[in-house]
Protein backbone atom coordinates (compact mmCIF):
# COMPACT_ATOMS: atom_id res chain seq x y z
CA UNK A 1 0.00 0.00 0.00
CA UNK A 2 1.30 3.42 -0.98
CA UNK A 3 2.35 5.57 2.00
CA UNK A 4 -0.15 8.41 2.09
CA UNK A 5 0.30 11.68 3.95
CA UNK A 6 -1.30 12.03 7.34
CA UNK A 7 -4.16 14.51 7.10
CA UNK A 8 -3.59 16.95 9.96
CA UNK A 9 -5.34 20.12 11.12
CA UNK A 10 -2.59 22.03 9.29
CA UNK A 11 -2.42 20.14 6.01
CA UNK A 12 -5.72 18.39 5.22
CA UNK A 13 -6.78 21.26 2.93
CA UNK A 14 -3.63 20.82 0.83
CA UNK A 15 -4.01 17.09 0.35
CA UNK A 16 -7.72 17.33 -0.54
CA UNK A 17 -7.36 20.38 -2.78
CA UNK A 18 -7.17 18.25 -5.91
CA UNK A 19 -10.73 17.00 -5.46
CA UNK A 20 -11.80 19.82 -7.82
CA UNK A 21 -8.68 19.50 -9.97
CA UNK A 22 -6.99 22.61 -8.57
CA UNK A 23 -3.63 22.84 -6.78
CA UNK A 24 -3.72 25.27 -3.87
CA UNK A 25 -0.86 26.78 -1.87
CA UNK A 26 -0.92 28.81 1.34
CA UNK A 27 -0.74 32.53 0.59
CA UNK A 28 -0.48 35.41 3.06
CA UNK A 29 -3.48 37.73 2.64
CA UNK A 30 -1.43 40.69 3.97
CA UNK A 31 1.68 40.57 1.77
CA UNK A 32 0.70 37.95 -0.85
CA UNK A 33 3.74 35.71 -0.10
CA UNK A 34 3.27 32.05 -0.99
CA UNK A 35 4.23 29.77 1.89
CA UNK A 36 4.99 26.06 1.64
CA UNK A 37 4.83 23.77 3.51
CA UNK A 38 1.98 25.40 5.47
CA UNK A 39 2.85 27.19 8.72
CA UNK A 40 0.56 29.31 10.93
CA UNK A 41 2.48 32.58 10.41
CA UNK A 42 3.81 34.38 7.35
CA UNK A 43 7.63 34.16 7.39
CA UNK A 44 7.83 37.41 5.37
CA UNK A 45 5.55 39.81 7.30
CA UNK A 46 4.60 37.68 10.35
CA UNK A 47 0.90 38.06 9.60
CA UNK A 48 -1.32 35.25 10.88
CA UNK A 49 -3.82 35.79 8.03
CA UNK A 50 -3.65 33.44 5.05
CA UNK A 51 -5.81 31.36 2.78
CA UNK A 52 -5.38 28.41 0.42
CA UNK A 53 -4.89 30.00 -2.99
CA UNK A 54 -5.40 28.23 -6.31
CA UNK A 55 -2.39 28.26 -8.63
CA UNK A 56 -1.95 27.25 -12.27
CA UNK A 57 -0.46 23.86 -11.48
CA UNK A 58 2.45 24.60 -13.80
CA UNK A 59 6.09 24.48 -12.81
CA UNK A 60 9.66 23.61 -13.73
CA UNK A 61 11.79 20.64 -12.70
CA UNK A 62 14.75 21.93 -10.64
CA UNK A 63 15.89 18.63 -9.17
CA UNK A 64 15.19 15.01 -10.05
CA UNK A 65 16.36 11.46 -9.62
CA UNK A 66 15.52 8.22 -11.35
CA UNK A 67 15.11 5.76 -8.53
CA UNK A 68 16.20 2.16 -9.20
CA UNK A 69 16.02 0.71 -5.70
CA UNK A 70 12.96 -0.88 -4.15
CA UNK A 71 12.58 1.04 -0.88
CA UNK A 72 8.90 0.27 -0.48
CA UNK A 73 6.68 -2.45 -1.96
CA UNK A 74 4.20 0.13 -3.28
CA UNK A 75 6.73 1.69 -5.63
CA UNK A 76 7.96 -0.33 -8.59
CA UNK A 77 11.35 0.91 -9.85
CA UNK A 78 12.44 2.61 -11.96
CA UNK A 79 10.50 5.80 -11.40
CA UNK A 80 11.31 9.51 -11.50
CA UNK A 81 11.04 11.77 -8.47
CA UNK A 82 11.48 15.52 -8.86
CA UNK A 83 11.46 18.85 -7.11
CA UNK A 84 9.16 21.16 -9.05
CA UNK A 85 9.36 24.96 -8.69
CA UNK A 86 5.90 26.45 -9.14
CA UNK A 87 5.32 28.98 -11.92
CA UNK A 88 3.71 31.54 -9.59
CA UNK A 89 6.72 31.59 -7.27
CA UNK A 90 9.78 29.42 -8.02
CA UNK A 91 10.65 29.67 -4.31
CA UNK A 92 7.70 27.37 -3.66
CA UNK A 93 8.56 23.80 -4.56
CA UNK A 94 6.89 20.42 -4.41
CA UNK A 95 8.64 17.09 -4.19
CA UNK A 96 6.61 14.89 -6.50
CA UNK A 97 6.61 11.97 -8.90
CA UNK A 98 6.96 12.65 -12.62
CA UNK A 99 4.46 10.61 -14.67
CA UNK A 100 3.43 10.29 -18.30
CA UNK A 101 7.00 10.01 -19.54
CA UNK A 102 9.79 7.43 -19.56
CA UNK A 103 11.72 8.10 -16.31
CA UNK A 104 15.03 8.24 -18.17
CA UNK A 105 13.77 11.22 -20.19
CA UNK A 106 13.22 13.47 -17.20
CA UNK A 107 15.69 16.35 -16.91
CA UNK A 108 16.33 19.68 -15.21
CA UNK A 109 14.46 22.61 -16.78
CA UNK A 110 11.48 20.66 -18.13
CA UNK A 111 8.14 22.39 -17.70
CA UNK A 112 5.49 20.25 -16.05
CA UNK A 113 1.82 20.46 -15.16
CA UNK A 114 -0.03 18.91 -12.22
CA UNK A 115 -2.01 15.69 -12.60
CA UNK A 116 -3.77 14.53 -9.46
CA UNK A 117 -3.88 10.91 -8.38
CA UNK A 118 -6.71 10.03 -6.03
CA UNK A 119 -6.08 7.56 -3.13
CA UNK A 120 -8.68 7.22 -0.35
CA UNK A 121 -9.05 10.72 1.14
CA UNK A 122 -5.95 12.14 -0.55
CA UNK A 123 -5.34 13.77 -3.94
CA UNK A 124 -1.59 13.53 -4.63
CA UNK A 125 -0.23 16.25 -6.94
CA UNK A 126 1.91 14.37 -9.49
CA UNK A 127 3.38 16.19 -12.48
CA UNK A 128 3.69 15.46 -16.18
CA UNK A 129 6.08 17.14 -18.66
CA UNK A 130 4.45 19.49 -21.17
CA UNK A 131 7.24 18.95 -23.69
CA UNK A 132 8.51 22.51 -23.20
CA UNK A 133 11.77 23.62 -21.61
CA UNK A 134 11.76 26.58 -19.24
CA UNK A 135 13.19 29.76 -20.78
CA UNK A 136 14.55 30.94 -17.43
CA UNK A 137 16.52 29.18 -14.69
CA UNK A 138 14.30 29.32 -11.61
CA UNK A 139 17.22 28.43 -9.28
CA UNK A 140 19.42 31.23 -7.97
CA UNK A 141 23.19 30.84 -7.85
CA UNK A 142 24.34 29.81 -4.36
CA UNK A 143 26.01 32.52 -2.35
CA UNK A 144 28.23 32.78 0.69
CA UNK A 145 25.78 33.23 3.55
CA UNK A 146 26.24 35.86 6.25
CA UNK A 147 26.35 34.34 9.72
CA UNK A 148 25.65 36.01 13.04
CA UNK A 149 28.92 37.51 14.30
CA UNK A 150 30.12 36.87 17.86
CA UNK A 151 29.81 39.79 20.30
CA UNK A 152 33.44 39.67 21.40
CA UNK A 153 36.63 37.63 21.18
CA UNK A 154 35.68 35.22 23.96
CA UNK A 155 34.96 31.70 22.72
CA UNK A 156 33.22 29.06 24.79
CA UNK A 157 34.93 26.54 22.51
CA UNK A 158 38.30 27.19 24.16
CA UNK A 159 37.09 26.08 27.59
CA UNK A 160 36.84 22.43 26.50
CA UNK A 161 39.10 19.81 25.00
CA UNK A 162 38.50 16.37 23.49
CA UNK A 163 40.31 14.22 26.03
CA UNK A 164 39.37 10.66 25.11
CA UNK A 165 37.89 8.53 22.35
CA UNK A 166 36.70 4.95 22.25
CA UNK A 167 35.16 2.62 19.72
CA UNK A 168 33.39 -0.71 19.87
CA UNK A 169 33.76 -3.43 17.29
CA UNK A 170 32.67 -2.07 13.92
CA UNK A 171 31.15 -4.26 11.23
CA UNK A 172 28.26 -5.73 9.31
CA UNK A 173 25.69 -7.91 11.08
CA UNK A 174 27.63 -8.16 14.35
CA UNK A 175 24.45 -9.42 16.06
CA UNK A 176 25.50 -7.77 19.32
CA UNK A 177 23.12 -5.92 21.63
CA UNK A 178 23.60 -2.24 20.68
CA UNK A 179 23.74 -1.18 24.33
CA UNK A 180 26.68 -3.54 24.73
CA UNK A 181 28.43 -1.80 21.82
CA UNK A 182 27.76 1.55 23.51
CA UNK A 183 29.25 0.34 26.80
CA UNK A 184 32.34 -0.95 24.97
CA UNK A 185 32.92 2.45 23.36
CA UNK A 186 32.20 4.40 26.54
CA UNK A 187 34.56 2.32 28.72
CA UNK A 188 37.32 2.69 26.14
CA UNK A 189 36.85 6.45 25.82
CA UNK A 190 36.89 7.02 29.58
CA UNK A 191 40.05 4.93 29.97
CA UNK A 192 41.62 6.68 26.98
CA UNK A 193 41.06 10.01 28.74
CA UNK A 194 42.83 8.62 31.85
CA UNK A 195 39.59 8.84 33.82
CA UNK A 196 37.38 6.56 35.89
CA UNK A 197 33.67 6.19 35.19
CA UNK A 198 33.07 8.04 38.47
CA UNK A 199 34.77 11.12 36.97
CA UNK A 200 32.09 11.44 34.30
CA UNK A 201 29.42 13.98 35.26
CA UNK A 202 27.62 14.50 31.94
CA UNK A 203 26.10 12.38 29.17
CA UNK A 204 25.27 13.57 25.67
CA UNK A 205 24.10 11.73 22.58
CA UNK A 206 22.37 11.98 19.23
CA UNK A 207 19.62 11.21 18.29
CA UNK A 208 18.41 9.85 21.65
CA UNK A 209 15.92 7.00 21.66
CA UNK A 210 15.28 6.32 17.97
CA UNK A 211 14.09 3.33 15.95
CA UNK A 212 15.42 1.77 12.74
CA UNK A 213 18.67 0.58 14.32
CA UNK A 214 19.79 4.17 14.84
CA UNK A 215 20.23 4.13 18.63
CA UNK A 216 20.86 1.93 21.65
CA UNK A 217 18.03 3.72 23.42
CA UNK A 218 19.55 7.03 24.43
CA UNK A 219 20.57 8.59 27.73
CA UNK A 220 18.17 6.76 30.03
CA UNK A 221 19.20 3.38 28.64
CA UNK A 222 22.91 4.13 29.02
CA UNK A 223 22.53 5.71 32.46
CA UNK A 224 20.58 2.65 33.60
CA UNK A 225 23.56 0.54 32.56
CA UNK A 226 26.40 2.74 33.85
CA UNK A 227 24.81 4.54 36.89
CA UNK A 228 26.98 7.64 36.54
CA UNK A 229 24.74 10.12 38.39
CA UNK A 230 25.35 12.89 35.83
CA UNK A 231 24.72 16.54 36.72
CA UNK A 232 23.53 17.15 33.15
CA UNK A 233 22.25 15.06 30.25
CA UNK A 234 21.37 15.77 26.67
CA UNK A 235 20.07 13.67 23.81
CA UNK A 236 17.81 14.13 20.86
CA UNK A 237 17.49 14.57 17.15
CA UNK A 238 16.85 18.31 17.37
CA UNK A 239 20.56 19.06 17.62
CA UNK A 240 23.00 20.43 15.07
CA UNK A 241 23.63 16.94 13.70
CA UNK A 242 25.46 14.13 15.48
CA UNK A 243 28.30 16.55 16.28
CA UNK A 244 25.71 18.72 17.99
CA UNK A 245 25.85 16.35 20.95
CA UNK A 246 29.53 17.29 21.34
CA UNK A 247 28.79 21.02 20.95
CA UNK A 248 26.11 20.70 23.65
CA UNK A 249 28.62 18.94 25.91
CA UNK A 250 31.09 21.79 25.35
CA UNK A 251 28.39 24.26 26.44
CA UNK A 252 27.79 22.26 29.63
CA UNK A 253 31.52 22.24 30.37
CA UNK A 254 32.01 25.92 29.52
CA UNK A 255 29.13 26.86 31.82
CA UNK A 256 30.71 24.97 34.72
CA UNK A 257 27.91 22.45 35.06
CA UNK A 258 30.13 19.53 34.02
CA UNK A 259 33.80 18.66 34.07
CA UNK A 260 33.89 15.53 31.90
CA UNK A 261 31.01 14.76 29.51
CA UNK A 262 30.78 11.37 27.82
CA UNK A 263 29.33 11.71 24.31
CA UNK A 264 28.32 8.62 22.37
CA UNK A 265 26.71 7.59 19.10
CA UNK A 266 25.62 4.02 18.34
CA UNK A 267 24.21 2.47 15.18
CA UNK A 268 23.15 -1.12 14.52
CA UNK A 269 21.38 -0.68 11.20
CA UNK A 270 23.05 -3.77 9.73
CA UNK A 271 21.88 -6.21 12.42
CA UNK A 272 18.52 -4.42 12.60
CA UNK A 273 17.93 -5.20 8.93
CA UNK A 274 19.29 -8.75 9.24
CA UNK A 275 16.83 -9.41 12.07
CA UNK A 276 13.99 -8.45 9.75
CA UNK A 277 13.05 -5.47 11.90
CA UNK A 278 13.26 -2.94 9.07
CA UNK A 279 10.02 -2.46 7.20
CA UNK A 280 7.98 0.05 5.26
CA UNK A 281 6.62 1.59 8.47
CA UNK A 282 3.11 2.76 9.19
CA UNK A 283 0.40 3.41 6.61
CA UNK A 284 0.63 7.23 6.84
CA UNK A 285 3.64 9.49 6.46
CA UNK A 286 3.87 12.33 8.97
CA UNK A 287 5.96 15.43 9.58
CA UNK A 288 8.32 16.48 6.80
CA UNK A 289 8.18 12.92 5.45
CA UNK A 290 4.55 13.51 4.45
CA UNK A 291 5.78 15.81 1.68
CA UNK A 292 8.12 13.18 0.19
CA UNK A 293 7.22 9.55 0.98
CA UNK A 294 3.86 9.56 -0.89
CA UNK A 295 5.80 10.24 -4.10
CA UNK A 296 8.31 7.42 -3.64
CA UNK A 297 10.99 9.76 -2.25
CA UNK A 298 11.57 7.39 0.64
CA UNK A 299 15.28 7.59 1.35
CA UNK A 300 17.78 10.36 2.01
CA UNK A 301 19.50 8.93 -1.07
CA UNK A 302 16.55 10.16 -3.17
CA UNK A 303 16.46 13.62 -1.58
CA UNK A 304 20.21 14.27 -1.91
CA UNK A 305 20.34 12.75 -5.42
CA UNK A 306 17.89 15.37 -6.69
CA UNK A 307 20.26 18.11 -5.54
CA UNK A 308 23.25 16.25 -6.96
CA UNK A 309 21.60 16.23 -10.39
CA UNK A 310 20.92 19.97 -10.14
CA UNK A 311 24.64 20.46 -9.35
CA UNK A 312 25.84 18.26 -12.23
CA UNK A 313 23.47 20.06 -14.61
CA UNK A 314 24.34 23.57 -13.41
CA UNK A 315 28.11 23.19 -13.40
CA UNK A 316 28.54 20.63 -16.16
CA UNK A 317 30.37 18.29 -13.81
CA UNK A 318 30.58 14.57 -14.66
CA UNK A 319 29.56 11.69 -12.42
CA UNK A 320 33.27 10.88 -12.16
CA UNK A 321 33.59 13.85 -9.79
CA UNK A 322 31.47 11.93 -7.29
CA UNK A 323 33.49 8.81 -8.05
CA UNK A 324 36.69 10.56 -6.99
CA UNK A 325 35.26 10.89 -3.48
CA UNK A 326 34.37 7.20 -3.38
CA UNK A 327 37.75 6.11 -4.77
CA UNK A 328 39.64 8.33 -2.32
CA UNK A 329 37.77 6.81 0.62
CA UNK A 330 38.41 3.29 -0.60
CA UNK A 331 42.11 3.89 -1.22
CA UNK A 332 42.49 5.29 2.31
CA UNK A 333 40.46 2.48 3.89
CA UNK A 334 43.11 0.01 2.75
CA UNK A 335 45.27 1.50 5.52
CA UNK A 336 42.51 1.34 8.14
CA UNK A 337 42.18 -2.08 9.81
CA UNK A 338 38.75 -1.12 11.18
CA UNK A 339 37.22 -0.25 7.80
CA UNK A 340 34.52 -2.54 6.43
CA UNK A 341 35.40 -2.18 2.73
CA UNK A 342 39.15 -2.24 2.08
CA UNK A 343 39.47 -3.84 -1.36
CA UNK A 344 40.79 -1.55 -4.10
CA UNK A 345 38.20 0.09 -6.34
CA UNK A 346 38.65 1.56 -9.82
CA UNK A 347 36.61 4.23 -11.59
CA UNK A 348 35.21 1.44 -13.78
CA UNK A 349 34.08 -0.42 -10.65
CA UNK A 350 32.45 2.79 -9.44
CA UNK A 351 30.68 3.60 -12.71
CA UNK A 352 29.44 0.05 -13.31
CA UNK A 353 28.05 -0.54 -9.82
CA UNK A 354 24.35 -1.21 -9.32
CA UNK A 355 22.34 2.02 -9.82
CA UNK A 356 20.51 3.19 -6.69
CA UNK A 357 18.97 6.55 -7.53
CA UNK A 358 20.56 8.67 -10.24
CA UNK A 359 23.23 9.97 -10.20
CA UNK A 360 24.03 7.64 -7.27
CA UNK A 361 25.14 4.05 -7.63
CA UNK A 362 26.02 1.64 -4.85
CA UNK A 363 29.40 3.26 -4.14
CA UNK A 364 27.93 6.73 -3.73
CA UNK A 365 26.11 5.49 -0.63
CA UNK A 366 27.74 4.79 2.74
CA UNK A 367 27.74 1.36 4.36
CA UNK A 368 25.08 0.59 6.99
CA UNK A 369 26.91 -1.03 9.89
CA UNK A 370 26.92 -1.78 13.60
CA UNK A 371 29.20 0.15 15.93
CA UNK A 372 29.48 2.69 18.69
CA UNK A 373 31.91 5.57 19.15
CA UNK A 374 32.36 7.67 22.29
CA UNK A 375 34.18 10.94 22.87
CA UNK A 376 34.98 12.58 26.21
CA UNK A 377 34.66 16.38 26.35
CA UNK A 378 36.67 17.70 29.33
CA UNK A 379 37.23 21.05 30.97
CA UNK A 380 40.33 22.54 29.33
CA UNK A 381 41.71 23.25 32.82
CA UNK A 382 42.13 19.49 33.29
CA UNK A 383 43.92 18.95 29.95
CA UNK A 384 47.43 18.67 31.43
CA UNK A 385 46.34 15.74 33.62
CA UNK A 386 45.34 13.61 30.65
CA UNK A 387 47.63 10.92 29.20
CA UNK A 388 47.22 11.97 25.55
CA UNK A 389 47.70 15.42 24.01
CA UNK A 390 44.36 17.14 24.49
CA UNK A 391 42.63 18.13 21.28
CA UNK A 392 41.59 21.75 21.39
CA UNK A 393 38.39 23.03 19.79
CA UNK A 394 39.15 26.24 17.93
CA UNK A 395 35.61 26.96 16.72
CA UNK A 396 32.23 25.45 15.90
CA UNK A 397 29.74 26.26 13.16
CA UNK A 398 26.09 25.56 13.95
CA UNK A 399 23.93 28.33 12.51
CA UNK A 400 20.87 27.46 10.42
CA UNK A 401 20.77 29.92 7.52
CA UNK A 402 18.86 27.81 4.99
CA UNK A 403 15.34 26.45 4.86
CA UNK A 404 15.13 23.26 6.89
CA UNK A 405 12.60 21.75 4.48
CA UNK A 406 15.07 19.97 2.22
CA UNK A 407 13.27 20.77 -1.02
CA UNK A 408 12.48 24.45 -0.34
CA UNK A 409 15.94 25.95 0.10
CA UNK A 410 19.41 25.05 -1.12
CA UNK A 411 19.18 22.73 -4.11
CA UNK A 412 22.58 23.32 -5.76
CA UNK A 413 24.30 21.61 -2.81
CA UNK A 414 23.34 19.45 0.11
CA UNK A 415 21.18 21.67 2.34
CA UNK A 416 22.34 22.71 5.82
CA UNK A 417 26.04 22.91 5.06
CA UNK A 418 26.37 26.43 3.62
CA UNK A 419 25.16 28.23 6.75
CA UNK A 420 27.06 26.11 9.25
CA UNK A 421 30.29 26.41 7.25
CA UNK A 422 29.95 30.21 7.07
CA UNK A 423 29.27 30.32 10.81
CA UNK A 424 32.47 28.37 11.54
CA UNK A 425 34.70 30.89 9.80
CA UNK A 426 33.03 33.77 11.66
CA UNK A 427 34.31 32.35 14.96
CA UNK A 428 38.00 31.99 14.13
CA UNK A 429 40.81 33.90 12.47
CA UNK A 430 41.97 30.67 10.83
CA UNK A 431 41.12 30.23 7.13
CA UNK A 432 40.69 27.18 4.91
CA UNK A 433 44.37 27.37 3.94
CA UNK A 434 45.27 26.69 7.59
CA UNK A 435 43.52 23.30 7.58
CA UNK A 436 45.77 20.22 7.33
CA UNK A 437 43.06 17.61 6.81
CA UNK A 438 39.31 17.51 6.30
CA UNK A 439 36.90 14.96 7.72
CA UNK A 440 33.94 15.50 5.43
CA UNK A 441 30.60 13.84 6.05
CA UNK A 442 30.10 11.41 3.17
CA UNK A 443 26.81 9.67 3.79
CA UNK A 444 26.66 10.17 0.03
CA UNK A 445 29.58 11.24 -2.17
CA UNK A 446 27.78 14.49 -3.02
CA UNK A 447 27.68 15.48 0.65
CA UNK A 448 31.47 15.62 0.76
CA UNK A 449 31.53 17.75 -2.42
CA UNK A 450 28.99 20.08 -0.80
CA UNK A 451 31.09 20.46 2.37
CA UNK A 452 34.28 21.05 0.34
CA UNK A 453 32.67 23.96 -1.47
CA UNK A 454 30.70 25.26 1.52
CA UNK A 455 33.86 25.45 3.61
CA UNK A 456 35.54 27.44 0.85
CA UNK A 457 38.29 24.99 -0.09
CA UNK A 458 37.18 25.80 -3.64
CA UNK A 459 34.49 27.91 -5.27
CA UNK A 460 30.93 26.77 -5.95
CA UNK A 461 30.91 24.42 -8.92
CA UNK A 462 34.70 24.14 -9.01
CA UNK A 463 35.17 20.86 -7.14
CA UNK A 464 35.75 18.68 -10.19
CA UNK A 465 38.72 20.70 -11.43
CA UNK A 466 39.96 21.36 -7.92
CA UNK A 467 40.04 17.65 -7.05
CA UNK A 468 42.68 17.23 -9.78
CA UNK A 469 41.77 13.59 -10.48
CA UNK A 470 41.72 13.02 -6.72
CA UNK A 471 45.35 13.98 -6.16
CA UNK A 472 44.49 17.02 -4.05
CA UNK A 473 42.50 15.03 -1.45
CA UNK A 474 44.74 11.95 -1.33
CA UNK A 475 46.68 11.09 1.81
CA UNK A 476 49.77 12.87 0.40
CA UNK A 477 47.79 15.65 -1.25
CA UNK A 478 47.34 19.30 -0.39
CA UNK A 479 44.19 18.61 1.66
CA UNK A 480 43.85 14.96 2.69
CA UNK A 481 40.14 14.07 3.00
CA UNK A 482 38.79 11.23 5.12
CA UNK A 483 42.06 9.34 5.67
CA UNK A 484 40.12 6.54 7.43
CA UNK A 485 37.96 5.90 4.37
CA UNK A 486 34.92 7.90 5.43
CA UNK A 487 31.52 6.38 5.96
CA UNK A 488 31.62 5.20 2.34
CA UNK A 489 34.29 2.62 3.16
CA UNK A 490 34.76 2.50 6.94
CA UNK A 491 31.05 2.35 7.75
CA UNK A 492 28.14 4.62 8.60
CA UNK A 493 28.88 5.54 12.19
CA UNK A 494 26.84 8.67 11.50
CA UNK A 495 29.28 11.45 12.11
CA UNK A 496 31.25 10.15 15.07
CA UNK A 497 33.69 8.19 12.90
CA UNK A 498 35.03 11.51 11.61
CA UNK A 499 35.59 12.78 15.15
CA UNK A 500 37.34 9.55 16.13
CA UNK A 501 39.67 9.77 13.14
CA UNK A 502 40.37 13.48 13.71
CA UNK A 503 41.51 12.76 17.26
CA UNK A 504 43.77 9.89 16.09
CA UNK A 505 45.27 12.11 13.38
CA UNK A 506 45.82 15.15 15.62
CA UNK A 507 47.45 12.92 18.24
CA UNK A 508 49.67 11.56 15.44
CA UNK A 509 48.46 8.06 16.35
CA UNK A 510 46.97 7.14 12.95
CA UNK A 511 49.68 4.68 11.95
CA UNK A 512 50.29 4.15 8.24
CA UNK A 513 47.47 6.53 7.30
CA UNK A 514 48.88 9.39 9.38
CA UNK A 515 48.71 12.78 7.66
CA UNK A 516 52.21 14.17 8.09
CA UNK A 517 52.34 17.03 10.58
CA UNK A 518 48.57 17.16 11.11
CA UNK A 519 47.87 20.14 13.36
CA UNK A 520 44.44 21.43 12.33
CA UNK A 521 41.45 19.39 11.21
CA UNK A 522 37.96 20.36 10.15
CA UNK A 523 35.24 17.84 11.06
CA UNK A 524 31.72 18.00 9.66
CA UNK A 525 28.72 16.00 10.64
CA UNK A 526 25.33 15.74 9.06
CA UNK A 527 23.79 18.03 6.52
CA UNK A 528 20.35 17.76 5.00
CA UNK A 529 19.12 18.02 8.56
CA UNK A 530 20.70 20.78 10.69
CA UNK A 531 24.38 20.01 10.99
CA UNK A 532 27.55 21.15 12.68
CA UNK A 533 31.21 21.60 11.90
CA UNK A 534 34.15 21.68 14.30
CA UNK A 535 37.64 23.04 13.81
CA UNK A 536 40.06 21.02 15.94
CA UNK A 537 43.71 21.64 16.78
CA UNK A 538 46.53 19.66 18.27
CA UNK A 539 47.99 22.64 20.15
CA UNK A 540 47.00 26.10 21.26
CA UNK A 541 47.87 28.53 18.52
ZN1 LIG B 1 2.89 38.07 4.77
Over residues 28-49, the pLDDT tens digits come to 999 999 999 999 999 999 999 9
* CA–centroid distance, residue 536 to ligand 1 (Å): 42
Q: What is the pLDDT of residue 281?
A: 65
CA 53 to centroid of ligand 1, rounded, Å: 14
The answer, yes or no, to whether residue 280 has pLDDT greater than 70, is no
- From the CA of 403, how far away is ligand 1's center (Å)? 17
For ligand 1, the distance from its centroid to the CA atom of residue 49, given in whole angstroms, is 8
Q: How far is ligand 1, taken at its centre, from the CA of residue 10, in Å?
A: 18
Confidence of residue 125 (pLDDT cuts 50, 70, 90): very high
CA of 145 to the centre of ligand 1 (A): 23
C-alpha of residue 57 to centroid of ligand 1, in Å:
22
Nearest to 449 by CA among 461, 433, 437, 434: 461
Least confident of 127-131, 256-260, 420-424, 523-527: 523-527
Q: How far is the CA of 91 from the centre of ligand 1 (A)?
A: 15
pTM over 0.85: yes
The sign one gets for the Cα dihedral 486, 488, 490, 491 is: positive
Give the pLDDT band (50/70/90) at residue 26: very high
Distance 35 CA to ligand 1 centre (A): 9
pLDDT for 539 equals: 76
CA-CA distance, 419 to 532, in Å (whole number)? 10
Q: Assign 283 a pLDDT band (cuts: 50, 70, 90).
A: confident
Per residue in 492-518, pLDDT tens? 999 999 999 999 999 999 999 999 999
Q: Closest Cα partner for 416 from 439, 383, 450?
A: 450
Spatial separation of the C-alpha atoms in residues 368 and 365, rounded to whole Å: 9
- 3-state DSSP call for residue 237? coil
Q: Evaluate if residue 540 carries a pLDDT over 60.
A: no
Q: What is the pLDDT of residue 541?
A: 42
Tell me the pLDDT tens digit for each residue of 292-347.
Answer: 999 999 999 999 999 999 999 999 999 999 999 999 999 999 999 999 999 999 99
Mean pLDDT of 2-19: 96
- Please state the three-class secondary structure of 378-418 as a single string: EEHHHHHHCCCCCEEEEEEECCCCCCCCCCCCCCCCCCCCH
CA 13–ligand 1 middle distance (angstroms): 19
| Residues across the chain | 541
Residue 366 confidence (pLDDT): 98
Determine how many CB atoms are found less than 10 A away from the CB of residue 179. Answer: 18
Q: What Å distances lie between residue 374 and 185, 205, 242, 383, 387, CA to CA?
A: 5, 9, 12, 18, 17
**Are residues 260 and 201 in contact, defined by beta-carbon separation less than 8 angstroms?**
yes
78-110 per-position pLDDT tens digit: 999 999 999 999 999 999 999 999 999 999 999
Could you write out the three-class secondary structure of 20-76? HCCEEEEEECCCCCEECCCCCCCCCCCCCCEEEEEECCEEEEEEEEEECCCCCCCCC
Q: How far is the CA of 304 from the centre of ligand 1 (A)?
A: 30
Exposure string (b/e) for 252-268, b if CB count within 10 Å is 16 or more? bbbeeebbbbbbbbbbb
C-alpha 33 to ligand 1 mean position (Å): 5
| For residues 390-405, average pLDDT | 97
Q: How confident is the model at residue 1 (pLDDT cuts 50, 70, 90)?
A: confident
Burial of 528 (0-12, 13-18, 19+ CB in 10 A): buried
For residue 48, report the distance from its CA to the centre of ligand 1, in Å. 8
Distance 392 CA to ligand 1 centre (A): 45
Distance 46 CA to ligand 1 centre (A): 6
What is the 493 CA–ligand 1 centroid distance (Å)? 42
29 Cα to the center of ligand 1, angstroms: 7
Residue 51 CA to ligand 1 center (angstroms) comes to 11
Task: Provide the 3-class DSSP secondary structure of residue 149.
Answer: coil
Amino acid sequence: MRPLPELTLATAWFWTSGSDGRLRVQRCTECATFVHPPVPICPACRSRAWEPTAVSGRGTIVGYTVNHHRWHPAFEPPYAIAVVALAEDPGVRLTTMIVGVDPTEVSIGQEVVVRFEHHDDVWLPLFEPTGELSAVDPVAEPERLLPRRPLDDGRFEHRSVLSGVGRSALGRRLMVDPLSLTVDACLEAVADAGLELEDIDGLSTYPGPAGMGMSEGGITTVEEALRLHPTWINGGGDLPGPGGSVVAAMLAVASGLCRHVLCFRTVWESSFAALGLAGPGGPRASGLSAWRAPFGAISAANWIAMNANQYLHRYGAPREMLGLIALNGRANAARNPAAIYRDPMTMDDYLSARPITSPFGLYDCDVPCDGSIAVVVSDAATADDRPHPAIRIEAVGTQILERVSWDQGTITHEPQVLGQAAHLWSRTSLRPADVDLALLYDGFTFNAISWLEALGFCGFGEAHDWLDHGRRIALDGELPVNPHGGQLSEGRTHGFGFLYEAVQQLRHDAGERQVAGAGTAVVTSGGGVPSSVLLLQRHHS
